[in-house]
Amino acid sequence: MTAKTDFVQIRHAQKSFGKLEVLKDISLTVERGQIVAIIGPSGSGKSTLLRAINDLDPLSGGEVWLDGVQVNKTLPHRQYEKHINEMRQQIGMVFQHFNLFPHMTALENVSMAPQMLKGLSDEAAAKLAEEQLDHVGMLEKVDAYPSQLSGGQKQRVAIARALAMSPKLMLFDEATSALDPELVDEVNAVMKKLAQEHMTMIIVTHEMDFAASVCDRVLFMDKGVVVEEGPPEVLFKNPTQQRTRDFLRKHLEGAK
């Protein structure tokens, strides 16, 4: 077992809602520092797969491993809760609709978890939060409430909130899909910055250009399976599967 290739492993992931099978035996490996994009039509299971990684949507079968530890291991309820809370501290997640805490300032949004879970003092947590907000270019908005921020600003605070726990892995679930077009770039810029810092990232996205420019690998999912995967220049320019070609063509037409 080499740490390099085993950083994130999804083994035979399977998930059903009743009779509907939304993930069909998916296996996937992500190396440390790699950036992987998952693309595909809505209903393809890409968000479900992403949300299975930190067990927000538990799998029906299969395993998820992070850095040599199984995330979704079988444990008695109480022990599992403790285990999953520890695992989630290592896995940052960014949502389509930001999910910032509206009753807290930007600073409190970021400082709350480290303060509660890592036992930081008020000052240390505030300092950490300021650093993280500075990192995403939001230092001047530390005292603003989410209702006073634009969508792009909210998402940058949400990224800072996730980074404040020093995660080993970041998950992005359509982080720019709910944003006005002119606000997308500021969030993409932050994600690019993380990429340059070699953060391991799994990104569910509709933005092919962004995926092509940032990601090491792209997975195309459809109907619960990974249809095709490869480096962006190969998958986008010379896809081997008909379904991938159809999806990319439709997407290009839609973008025009």
Query: Which residues of the chain form contacts with other proteins (CB under 8 A)?
Result: 54, 56, 81, 85-86, 88-89, 91-93, 95, 97, 99-104, 112-113, 116-117, 145, 147-148, 158, 161-162, 164-165
CA torsion angle 155 231 88 5 (round to 10)? -150
Instruction: Enumerate the β-bridge partners of residue 221.
Output: 226
Helix pair angle (77-89, 106-118), 10° resolution: 130
- Closest CB to other proteins among 91 and 128? 91
- Closest CB to other proteins among 97 and 237? 97
The CB-of-138 to other proteins minimum distance in angstroms stands at 17
The CB-of-71 to other proteins minimum distance in angstroms stands at 13
Rg (CA), the chain: 18
From the list 27, 30, 26, 28, the residue with the least C-alpha distance to 4 is 30
* C-alpha 142: how far from chain center: 24
The CB-of-54 to other proteins minimum distance in angstroms stands at 6
- Closest CB to other proteins among 113 and 227? 113
Residues 212, 217: Cα–Cα separation, whole Å = 9
The CB-of-235 to other proteins minimum distance in angstroms stands at 29
DSSP string, 38-64: EE--TTSSHHHHHHHHTTSS--SEEEE
- Closest CB to other proteins among 157 and 226? 157
- Closest CB to other proteins among 175 and 218? 175
The CB-of-201 to other proteins minimum distance in angstroms stands at 15
